[in-house]
């Protein structure tokens, strides 16, 4: 029995430290989300189908979920409560499976995803500089200025969706009173392709981060189930 208690104590400490780091990571991600919301509150999403899908909201939701899961794990490890340990295992397993399913669907329907994303972004151009859409307006100006591009597929997207001969000032290579009506002064590269290439050039970092997250979750599942089994074994012994 002393060996069982020793194993339980070892797993308990390991799981507590693991979940404490997990919880602190969630705090950090939530903090980044809050900082983005405060400092870049006007920078909203480019999507009209998912108006709440912005960098700040993604960071805050992700950080909050990680904090809750980490807290359940820490509490379960400290109290050796089977219900909390099982809850932690089930919640983490659901998150893990959802991530795997999302990745499979993304790679399976990759072309459809890009097609839908482009159409959705293109529809959002019609809301540029309209009432209640300051966030979308600022987002497009930032993207076009930073990536030196114009429109989703090309600059004609602006002309088509707004039924106008003018493009936003952020499409201009150099600012001038007439640049918005002079095609020779507009950026020619499409924003979607430029952002896509930028993401592709940084995909290795994203992949490494994703793999690390999945490994951490697998260890969390293993530790929680090991501790659950050890607690169950100890309870049966005392009975």
CA angle 104, 101, 32 (to 5 degrees): 100
- Answer whether residue 98 is part of any domain: yes
Kindly give, in sequence order, each residue whose CB lies less than 8 Å from that of residue 43, ignoring residues fewer than 6 positions away: 36, 54, 55, 56, 135, 138, 139, 142
pLDDT at position 54 is: 67
- Answer whether residue 183 is part of any domain: no
- Answer whether residue 210 is part of any domain: no
pLDDT at position 168 is: 92
pLDDT at position 212 is: 80
pLDDT at position 94 is: 92
Contact of 225 with 189, CB cutoff 8 Å: no
Contact of 145 with 170, CB cutoff 8 Å: yes
Kindly give, in sequence order, each residue whose CB lies less than 8 Å from that of residue 20, ignoring residues fewer than 6 positions away: 70, 74
- Answer whether residue 96 is part of any domain: yes
CA angle 54, 57, 59 (to 5 degrees): 105
pLDDT at position 148 is: 93
- Answer whether residue 171 is part of any domain: no
pLDDT at position 48 is: 64
The pTM of the full predicted model, rounded to 2 decimals, is: 0.72
pLDDT at position 175 is: 85
Low-confidence ranges of the chain (pLDDT < 50): 1
**Residue 28 belongs to domain spanning:** 2-112+217-238
Cα–Cα separations (whole angstroms), residue 238 to 38, 134, 231, 234, 235: 54, 65, 11, 6, 5
- Answer whether residue 167 is part of any domain: no
Cα dihedral value 128, 133, 138, 140, nearest 10? -40
- Answer whether residue 145 is part of any domain: no
pLDDT at position 174 is: 87
For the chain, what is the domain count? 1
- Answer whether residue 61 is part of any domain: yes
- 134: tokens are 């300051």
Can you tell me the distance from the alpha carbon of 87 to that of 3, in angstroms, rounded to the nearest whole number?
26
**159 burial type by CB count under 10 A (0-12 exposed, 13-18 middle, 19+ buried):** middle
pLDDT at position 45 is: 66
């Amino acid at each position: 029995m002393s060996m069982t208690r020793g194993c339980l104590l070892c797993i308990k400490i390991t799981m507590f430290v693991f979940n404490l780091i997990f919880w602190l990571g969630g705090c950090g991600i939530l903090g980044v989300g809050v900082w983005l919301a405060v400092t870049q509150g006007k920078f909203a999403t480019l999507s009209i189908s998912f108006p709440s899908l912005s960098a700040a909201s993604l960071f805050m939701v992700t950080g909050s979920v990680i904090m809750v899961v980490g807290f359940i794990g820490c509490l379960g490890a400290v109290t050796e409560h089977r219900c909390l340990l099982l809850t932690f295992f089930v919640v983490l397993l659901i998150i893990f499976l959802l991530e795997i399913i999302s990745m499979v669907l993304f790679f399976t329907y990759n072309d459809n995803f890009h097609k839908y994303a482009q159409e959705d972004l293109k529809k959002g151009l019609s809301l540029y500089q309209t009432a209640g859409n300051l966030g979308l307006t600022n987002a497009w100006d930032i993207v076009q200025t930073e990536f030196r591009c114009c429109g989703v597929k090309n600059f004609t997207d602006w002309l088509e969706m707004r039924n106008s001969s003018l493009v936003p000032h952020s499409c201009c290579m150099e600012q001038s009173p007439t640049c918005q009506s002079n095609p020779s002064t507009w950026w020619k590269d499409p924003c979607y392709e430029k952002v896509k290439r930028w993401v592709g050039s940084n995909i290795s970092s994203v992949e490494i981060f994703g793999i690390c997250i999945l490994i951490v979750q697998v260890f969390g599942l293993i530790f929680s189930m090991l501790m659950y089994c050890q607690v169950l074994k100890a309870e049966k012994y005392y009975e």
